[in-house]
Every structure is written in C-alpha cells, then in structure tokens.
A and B are shown apart, each in its own frame.
Chain A
Amino acid sequence: MDILSLFVIVPVLTILILGFTKGLKQARIVSMVGSIIQLGMSINLIFAYFKERKINEEIMVFTKDYVWFEQFNIHYAIGVDGISVALLLLTSIVVLAGVFISWKTDDLPKEFFISLLVLSTGVYGFFISIDLFTMFVFYEIAVIPMYLLIGIWGSGPKEYSAMKLTLMLMGASAVLLVGVLGIYFNSNADGGALTFNILEIAQVNIPFEAQKLFFPLTFIGFAVLGALFPFHTWSPDGHASAPTAVSMLHAGVLMKLGGYGVFRVAMFLLPAGAMHWDWFFIILAATGVIYGAFGALKQTDLKYINAYSSVSHLGMVLFALLMLNKTAWNGALMQSLSHGFMTALFFALIGMIYGRTHTRDITKLGGLLKVIPFISAIYVIAGLASLGLPGFSGFVAEMNIFVGAFQNEGMFYRIATILSVSAIVVTAVYILRVVGIMLMGQVKNKEYLELQDATWYETTGILLLLIPIIGMGVAPLWLSDMLLESIQPFIQGVL
C-alpha cells in the first residue's frame, strides 16, 4: 500500500471501528488514536518528502495512478508536492486538536466523531489527489458532513445555518462541476485522449476561448469555499452555529480547499483565463479583505468577529493568488497554513470561553484575564498572531503577500495592494477591541469568578495549534523554501 493512500484508508478504518464503539469514552479514545496516527503519518511524510525531493525532480512525488473509469479516462491518481504536504500536516494537526477540543461531546458522540472523520477523509483525499474527478469527489465528501455536524450538534439557528452553508457550498461545487467538465473536454487540444489528470492537462494548452469561459466558473466554484466576497455570507452564520471542533475544522482546513483548488486547478490549468480575468477578481478579493475587516469591527459575537476576520484573511489568499507571481503565491499558501492554525486556535478558545460563560457576546464578558488567565493569555497571543505580529506565522505570510503583490507594475495593482495592506490596521483595531473589552477591564459577572482554567485536553489542543504558529513565525525559512520550490513549476506554467 502506498504511503499516500493511507491518508484516506486510516480515517476510513477509524470510522469503521467507531461504528462498533459504544458511548463517549470509547468513541473519543478511538478517534484520538486514529488522529494521532494521522499526525504521525503526516510528520513522517514531511521527512519522506524531503528525502524523496533530493532524488526526484518531478512536480509531484510519491505519485500512484490506478485506472478507475476507463471510458472517461478517470484515474485514482495521487501525488504530493511541498504544498500538499504542508497542508496535510495542517489538517492532521487541526483534526487532532479538534478531537481533543470536543472531548466532552455527550449527544450522539459516536456519530459526531464519525462525521468529523468523514470530513477529514474528504480533505485528505482532496489534498493528495491530482485527478480532477477524484478531487471533486473528495471535495463534496468533505463538504456534506458539515450539514449534520452543524445541524445536530450546533447551537442557535442551526438548521437555518446548516442548510444555508450546505446549499451555498454545494451550489458552488455545481458551478465548479461545469468548469471541471469544460476543462476535461478541452484537455486534448493537442490531440490525444481526454483526461482529468492535472499534470497531463497542464502539458496541453487549452484554447484561450475555453479558458476565458471556464476560468470564472472554476475560480468561483473554489473561491466560494474560500469565502470570496460576495459569496461569503454562509461563513458567519455557519461558524456561529457550528460546534467548536467543527468551526475549527471548517475554518481551519475546509476553507483552505478553496485557495488550494484555485491554485491547483484554476491558476495552473487556466493561466490565460486567469490573466484575462484577474482585474475583476482582484477587485472582489481586495474588497473582501477590507470589507471583512470592517465587517468584523462592529460585531459583538466572538464567532462572527472571527468569521469576518476569516473573510478578510482568506480574501488576502485569493488576492495573492491572483497576483500571479512566486512570492505572492508563496504568501498565499503560507497565509492558508497560518490562518488555518490561527483561526482553529481562535475557535477552540472561543469554544472554551463559551463553554464556561455560556455567552459569546463580548459586551457581556469582561476581565477574563483575571479568572481564566491561561485561556485569556493564549487568546491575546492568538490575537497578536492574527494581526500579523512578527514572530508569528501571520506576519511571515502577509509580508510575502505584500512584497509579492508589490512586484506587479501598474497603478491598479499598486492601489489594490496598498488597500489590502491597510487592512492590517483595521485588523489591529478589531482584535484589540475584543481583547480590551472581553479579557481586560473589570469582571462583569460575579459568577465568572468561579470559572476553571483550561483542562488537560484543552491545553493539549491549544498547544498543538500554538506551536506551529510560533514555529512558522520564528523560523519560516524551511517552510517558505519548500513551498517556493514547489511553486516553481506552477509559476513557469503560468508564464
């Protein structure tokens, strides 16, 4: 069995075993073990990748290719490069953290963990597959469990939010499907068989008319998942209603599928289309960046604040991807990673605070630093990381994006860049607003004085997420070089 398919097989096995478990204790133990194995595998994969990379010059390494539907030339084709390796690591960490955070799921625990793992299976599969069809399959597998996860274990207007989220994302994937088919039927421009294989399609040059037609479909199809303005509205409601671990996985990992897909499919396969449309989508993305930041400024619900800040941060990702140069793309991918960790950490902390105080309204909270110092301190750190403080991952990513974006001549790009840069100030404002109101000041509610600080599993979850953030921020070189090296062939494809 090849080392990549394990990423799909192990969670599936975990799910099967979970099927036979009884009660919360068994369920969480099993899923924890499963996720730990996953984490081990992805760490191992990193090293394996570095070893392989020395001797292997291909774009993708560890490639495997099994014919699936011969008539359509559909293959189960997998392979990874530095980017997917990094994202796999992100996924496994967030999943494990998620399992820890949802340690005390009392309602239908088994089903909860199963859905969680189905989601992660989809994500893993998406990241390893290099065949558009399998990619699409895994994409939908990853999205659909959200409905149950939010609907059953959510809070507030959960039915509404779940339905909204699922329909918007599925609608997006519907648009995407047309794009994928379009690419497929233009994939033999130079003669030869139709194919879904990304690497093969990248070799042929798809006619410009087709690119012009299908780039927007593909881009939007993926970007909706990346909360592209104005298709972001599923995200605030969805996050607000979702249970903690789900918000973590969703914002931390699932939304990354958007950026990744745009990078792998839209940009890589339809570069001419990208060049043709970039102005339009840059406007959208830049708007999203500013808009999300300002949107977060007014909210009082912690999750809404975080959701809007995600809109802003991921807008940055799409923005950078559209800048079509190495540095910006590097930044985009780093931003994906760092946002993944940070926002997951945020949601985890929000979940803890909510679990203790039973409110997410910052105006009702106050002085938490006094009563739950550890959680609050971490929250401050996460906040600082998210406003792009040096020493944390956010800074590295954003600087790459800005420098990269600035490489593009032309007033339009410059203005867009400077607008997006200015978002860092607004970010600082809304982050510090929350910190100031919620963590500092006097304790508003006497009951809060009895609150307990983080338990061992919560602490574990937090540290799992915090360490990579700091690691990336303090020593970004290895990561950025790994990504740059993997971006190289893609950028050549574009130019």
Chain B
Amino acid sequence: MNLDSFLIMRHEILLLTITLLLLVGEIFISKSKKSSLVHLAIFLFGIHTAVGFLAIDESSIFGGSFQTNNLIHFFKNVLNIGVFILLLQSADWIEEKIVGENRGTEFFILLFSSLLGMYFMISAGDFLMFYIGLELSTLPVAALAAYETTKRKSSEAGIKLILSAALASGVSLFGISLLYATSGSIFFNDIIEVITSTNLTILGFILFFAGLSFKISLVPFHFWTADVYEGAPISVASYLSVISKGAAVFILMILMFTVFKPLIHIWENMVYVVALATMFIGNLFALRQQNMKRFLAFSSIAQAGFILLGLITGTQLGTATIVYFVMIYIFSNLAAFGVVQAISLKTGKENMDDYNGLYRTNPNLSLIMMLALFSLAGIPPVAGFFGKFFLFTAAASKGYYMLVFLAVVNVTISLYYYLLVIRAMFIRRSETPIPFFKNKLYMRLGLFITVIGILVLGLYSPLYDYIYELSSVFN
C-alpha cells in the first residue's frame, strides 16, 4: 500500500493539521494577541471546507476499516459547511471569552477533534473504527458543554452529557459484542454475509441501535437533550443539534441499509414505533417551553422523528431524502440557533417573552428567525417544506399512509409552537423590547449563508437529483 492511498483521508488529515496548528499557536502566541487565533481558525477551516469539495476517489484502507465514497465525501462536506457557519456565528462569543476570561483556543481544538471523530465514524468500515469515532465525537462535546466553567448550569450539562453518553456507549458496546459473537467479525462487510435474525443478533442490534439513538436523541433515549442544550453554550447546543445529530443519522442510516438490511422486517416496525414516539414526545414537550434553547432542543427531537420516516424505507429513495433533509435541517436549525446566539450575546436574553416586539426593533433578525422556523415547520416555499414532503413521499412509497398521516398531524402541532415564536416577534408588543443592535461581520455572514441555504436548497432541484444518484452506493 502506497502513501497516496492515504489521500482518501484528506479531510481527516487536513483537520488534524489545523487542530495541531491551533495547538501550536496556543502555545506560542502571547495572551494579548490570542484573539487573532479566532480569525486564524476560521480562516483555516474555511480553506479546509473549500478544499473538501475537491473530488476524491472511492476506496478503503486499513484493510477496510476506513472506507469512503462520494456520498460519504459529500456528507463530510455538508458537515464542514455546517461547522463553518457555526464558527462564524460563535466567533464573537469565543473572542469575548478569550479576551474577557483569557481562555485558550480549546474551544476550536475540542470542536475540531469532535468533528474529526465524526469523520471517522461515518467512514468507518468496522465497529472498532466506528466506536472510536463515536467516542471521539462525543467526549470533546461533553467538555465543550461544560465550557463555561463559571456557570453551574454548564457544568451540570456537561455531567449529564458525559454520564448519559458513557451509559449509551456502554450499552451499544455490549450490543456490538453480541453482534461480534453471532457473526464472528467486526467488519461490516463480513457481517453482511452472515447476519441472520437470530434472537441474539436482534438483541445486539437493539442495544447498538439504542447507543446511536442516544446521539440522534430519539425517544426514549432523548432525555439528556433538553437539559444539555439549555445548560451548554449556545454554539455547543447548536453543534449538538445539527452536526452531531446529522452525522449520527447518517451512519445509522448506512448501517441499517447495509449491515442490518437482512433484519429489515424487524427494524421497520421498530423504527415505526420509535418515530411516532419521538415525534409526539418532542412536539408535546416543545409546546410548553419558554427558554429558546430548550424549545429548539425539543423541536430538534421532533425533527429527528421525521427523519425516521425516510429511514423506515430502507431504499435509495430513503437515503436520498434523509441526506437531503438533514442538509436542509442543518441550515434551518443553524439559522435559528444563530439568531438566538446573536440576541443572547448582545442582551443575554434567551426566553420567548423577551422576543416580544422584536420585529419592530430588529426586523432582519426576526425575518431570519421566521424563515428558519417556517423551514423547520415545513412551510413552502422555504427548503424545509421540500425536505419534509420528500420524507413523507418516501414513507408513503412503502405504503405507510397511517404513519404519514400521524406525521402530518405532528407537523400541525409543531406549526403551533413555531407560530408562538413568530407571534412573539411580530404580533406581541413589549414595553422593554430588545433594542436595535448591529451584528459583527462574522455573525452576519453566518446568518446570511444559512438564509441563502434555506431559500435555495429547496427550490434548486438539481441538488436533490445529485444526492439521489450519490445515494445509489448503499443499495
């Protein structure tokens, strides 16, 4: 095996390099100039994102432990864009931290290593690589959740995340061990050959599924979500809600459509039940929330439920719709979190009531928020509608009309609480509205990109067709 075969790991290598660079910078740059590291990080990651779009050839190394193909490659790029937007949105905040509390660049380092973990996770070829990737993507986030060392809530969030994560990984490890027992290998490709629906296999699968569902925060593995989102810094919350969830969905999809395909007659029912539970629980909890972060947490749970509608099909159509939806979801949710971030950064306000009369003082932020919420609620012509519609189409293509019906009922419920926010911003008045303020360049750029995404992704159909043909690899 020659060296340039390592090039298929270009993403990972580049990201690792950036991380190390920042580490070095952390050491050598003097306290006063530290804030320049923020620009450096953003700049470097921007390059990384751009470079990522260069084509890459489909192959695998380490004896199949690490594999990649166009869809995975594409998805890594999506994750990159997401993280890039996230960086832009959190730049001001982190700069403040560095200058104010003279923190280091650990934020970036942790963030990037977690992203690195996701790379490995989604292009894993065996359970070992998968496990390492999973842990690598989870642990730094736990640290990030506890980033605000002076805030009790933050620490609490960290505790809850790390404990739940440890439990989840423990459970899924046990499951993997069982799978290993039945199939005699940890390589996906070997397992596909031998896997049959024996009870032990199913048990192993369920345990494993639970471990991943924890990251996607499907009911009943979702409990940590709200608390962690609320306690953690907003950037971390939004990272959890879009990037890590997206990656987890992606790998879950890959595994279920390839490795566990023979068990489909089992897991389609399972997904059916879990999807319903997730949508209903998520929506019902979201109804009551006042804290915007908590609110978005539950809404993101409900969204995960919708994603399962694509998962249940186990077809190329399903794959395409899921990837498409996740992409749109990333943009929409980032927009929403971005607005919350901007406002809380300026005023420290995070409750829905604080948003009363926002439109009259900050029209642009309100409009972005409205677009984001409409996209999440699935109102045309913004992207979310298309994502949802296609997910429903996918489910209906398998004849799950009842599921689709219940799903659209949930769409209506979710519309209700999204409208609550819109009501607060546009209809309600307030004696002490959030005063007008102007965002820094990074934040504006970050929001702008998301808006473009929300508006364009849906209406620009070739994108979907592109994803669709990429999706052929897993079927």
Smallest CB separation, A362 vs chain B (Å) = 29
Chain A residue nearest in CB terms to B469:
A71
Question: Number of residues in A with C-beta < 8 Å to the partner?
Answer: 33
Q: Which chain A residues (205-227) contact chain B, with CB distance < 8 Å?
A: 213
Q: Out of B385, B392, B393, which one reaches A140, CB within 8 Å?
A: B385
Smallest CB separation, A115 vs chain B (Å) = 10
With A141-B381, A167-B415, A174-B411 known to touch, is A72 a contact of B390 (CB < 8 Å)?
yes
Does A178 reach chain B (CB closer than 8 Å)?
Answer: yes
Contact between A184 and B393 (Cβ–Cβ < 8 Å)? yes
Does A284 reach chain B (CB closer than 8 Å)?
Answer: no
Q: Which residues of A contact B423 (CB under 8 A)?
A: 151, 159, 163
Does B298 reach chain A (CB closer than 8 Å)?
Answer: no
Smallest CB separation, A444 vs chain B (Å) = 34
Contact between B397 and A185 (Cβ–Cβ < 8 Å)? yes
With A140-B379, A163-B419, A174-B408 known to touch, is A71 a contact of B385 (CB < 8 Å)?
no
Q: Which residues of A contact B386 (CB under 8 A)?
A: 69
Does A152 reach chain B (CB closer than 8 Å)?
Answer: yes
Q: Out of B317, B379, B416, which one reaches A163, CB within 8 Å?
A: B416
With A170-B412, A181-B404 known to touch, is A72 a contact of B427 (CB < 8 Å)?
no
Contact between B380 and A70 (Cβ–Cβ < 8 Å)? no
Q: Which of B36-44, B325-333, B338-346, B460-468 contacts A (4 or more CB under 8 A)?
A: B460-468
Chain B residue nearest in CB terms to A137:
B380
Chain B residue nearest in CB terms to A148:
B426
Q: Which chain B residues (392-411) contact chain A, with CB distance < 8 Å?
A: 392-393, 396-397, 399, 401, 404-405, 408-409, 411
Q: Out of B396, B415, B419, B465, which one reaches A181, CB within 8 Å?
A: B396
A70 to B465, CA, bound (A): 7
With A141-B380, A167-B415 known to touch, is A151 a contact of B427 (CB < 8 Å)?
yes
Q: Which chain A residues (62-78) contact chain B, with CB distance < 8 Å?
A: 68-72, 74
| B-contact bits for A46-75, CB 8 A (1 contact / 0 none) | 000000000000000000000011111010
Q: Which residues of A contact B374 (CB under 8 A)?
A: 144
Does A156 reach chain B (CB closer than 8 Å)?
Answer: no
Contact between B465 and A166 (Cβ–Cβ < 8 Å)? no
Question: Number of residues in B with C-beta < 8 Å to the partner?
Answer: 33
Main secondary structure of the interface of B (DSSP, over half): helix
Q: Which residues of B contact A71 (CB under 8 A)?
A: 317, 320, 464-465, 468
Does B118 reach chain A (CB closer than 8 Å)?
Answer: no
Does A175 reach chain B (CB closer than 8 Å)?
Answer: yes
Q: Which residues of A contact B292 (CB under 8 A)?
A: none
Q: Out of B393, B399, B422, which one reaches A72, CB within 8 Å?
A: B393
A138 to B379, CA, bound (A): 10
Q: Which residues of A contact B405 (CB under 8 A)?
A: 174-175, 178
**Of listed A133, A171, A182, A213, residue having the most chain B CB within 10 A:** A171
Does A430 reach chain B (CB closer than 8 Å)?
Answer: no
Chain A residue nearest in CB terms to B412:
A171
A163 to B416, CA, bound (A): 8
Q: Out of B380, B381, B396, B416, which one reaches A182, CB within 8 Å?
A: B396
Chain B residue nearest in CB terms to A140:
B380
**Of listed B405, B412, B423, residue having the most chain A CB within 10 A:** B412
Smallest CB separation, B440 vs chain A (Å) = 24
Contact between A167 and B416 (Cβ–Cβ < 8 Å)? yes
Does A147 reach chain B (CB closer than 8 Å)?
Answer: yes
Contact between B464 and A170 (Cβ–Cβ < 8 Å)? no
Does A10 reach chain B (CB closer than 8 Å)?
Answer: no
Q: Which chain A residues (334-357) contact chain B, with CB distance < 8 Å?
A: none
Report how many A-B pairs have Cβ atoms within 8 Å: 83
A148 to B320, CA, bound (A): 34
Q: Which residues of B contact A167 (CB under 8 A)?
A: 412, 415-416
Does A177 reach chain B (CB closer than 8 Å)?
Answer: yes
A167 to B283, CA, bound (A): 15
Chain A residue nearest in CB terms to B408:
A174
Q: Which residues of A contact B397 (CB under 8 A)?
A: 185
Smallest CB separation, A120 vs chain B (Å) = 15
Chain A residue nearest in CB terms to B378:
A140
With A140-B379, A167-B416 known to touch, is A69 a contact of B464 (CB < 8 Å)?
yes
A148 to B392, CA, bound (A): 27
Q: Which residues of A contact B465 (CB under 8 A)?
A: 69-71
Q: Which residues of B contact A70 (CB under 8 A)?
A: 461, 465
Contact between A68 and B461 (Cβ–Cβ < 8 Å)? yes
| B-contact bits for A104-144, CB 8 A (1 contact / 0 none) | 00000000000000000000000000000100011011001
Smallest CB separation, B430 vs chain A (Å) = 14
Q: Which residues of A contact B399 (CB under 8 A)?
A: 185
| A-contact bits for B407-445, CB 8 A (1 contact / 0 none) | 011011001100100110011000000000000000000
Q: Which residues of A contact B392 (CB under 8 A)?
A: 177, 181
Q: Which residues of B contact A178 (CB under 8 A)?
A: 396, 401, 404-405, 408
Q: Which residues of A contact B416 (CB under 8 A)?
A: 163, 167
Smallest CB separation, A133 vs chain B (Å) = 8
Contact between B408 and A159 (Cβ–Cβ < 8 Å)? no
Chain A residue nearest in CB terms to B405:
A178
With A69-B464, A137-B385 known to touch, is A166 a contact of B415 (CB < 8 Å)?
yes
Q: Which residues of A contact B396 (CB under 8 A)?
A: 178, 181-182, 184-185
A177 to B386, CA, bound (A): 13
With A69-B461, A147-B422 known to touch, is A182 a contact of B408 (CB < 8 Å)?
no
Contact between B401 and A182 (Cβ–Cβ < 8 Å)? yes
Chain B residue nearest in CB terms to A74:
B461
Q: Which residues of B contact A159 (CB under 8 A)?
A: 423, 427
Q: Which residues of B contact A175 (CB under 8 A)?
A: 405, 408
Q: Which chain B residues (228-250) contact chain A, with CB distance < 8 Å?
A: none
Smallest CB separation, B414 vs chain A (Å) = 10
Q: Which chain A residues (239-275) contact chain B, with CB distance < 8 Å?
A: none
Chain A residue nearest in CB terms to B404:
A178
A144 to B379, CA, bound (A): 8
Q: Which residues of B contact A182 (CB under 8 A)?
A: 396, 401
Contact between B426 and A152 (Cβ–Cβ < 8 Å)? yes
Q: Which residues of A contact B461 (CB under 8 A)?
A: 68-70, 74
Q: Which residues of A contact B419 (CB under 8 A)?
A: 147, 163, 166
A82 to B461, CA, bound (A): 32
Q: Which residues of B contact A170 (CB under 8 A)?
A: 411-412, 415
Q: Which residues of B contact A166 (CB under 8 A)?
A: 415, 419
A126 to B401, CA, bound (A): 25
A174 to B390, CA, bound (A): 14
A178 to B465, CA, bound (A): 24
| A-contact bits for B340-383, CB 8 A (1 contact / 0 none) | 00000000000000000000000000000000001000011100
Contact between A181 and B381 (Cβ–Cβ < 8 Å)? no
A50 to B12, CA, bound (A): 65
Smallest CB separation, B325 vs chain A (Å) = 14
Smallest CB separation, B146 vs chain A (Å) = 39
Q: Which residues of A contact B427 (CB under 8 A)?
A: 148, 151-152, 158-159, 162
Q: Which chain B residues (184-243) contact chain A, with CB distance < 8 Å?
A: none
Chain B residue nearest in CB terms to A141:
B380
Smallest CB separation, A220 vs chain B (Å) = 12
A74 to B386, CA, bound (A): 12
Q: Which residues of B contact A148 (CB under 8 A)?
A: 422, 426-427
Chain A residue nearest in CB terms to B428:
A159
Smallest CB separation, A68 vs chain B (Å) = 5
Chain A residue nearest in CB terms to B415:
A170
A152 to B393, CA, bound (A): 35
For the complex with contacts A159-B427, A185-B396, 11 further pairs of A-B residues with Cβ separation under 8 Å are A70-B465, A137-B381, A144-B374, A147-B422, A148-B422, A162-B427, A163-B416, A174-B405, A175-B408, A178-B405, A213-B401
Which 7 A/B pairs are nearest by Cβ-Cβ distance? A174-B408, A151-B427, A181-B396, A137-B380, A171-B412, A69-B461, A178-B405
A-B contact pairs, 28 of them (CB 8 A): A69-B465, A70-B465, A71-B468, A140-B380, A140-B385, A141-B381, A144-B379, A147-B422, A148-B422, A151-B423, A151-B426, A152-B427, A158-B427, A167-B412, A167-B415, A170-B411, A174-B409, A174-B412, A175-B405, A175-B408, A177-B408, A178-B404, A181-B393, A181-B401, A182-B401, A184-B396, A185-B396, A185-B397
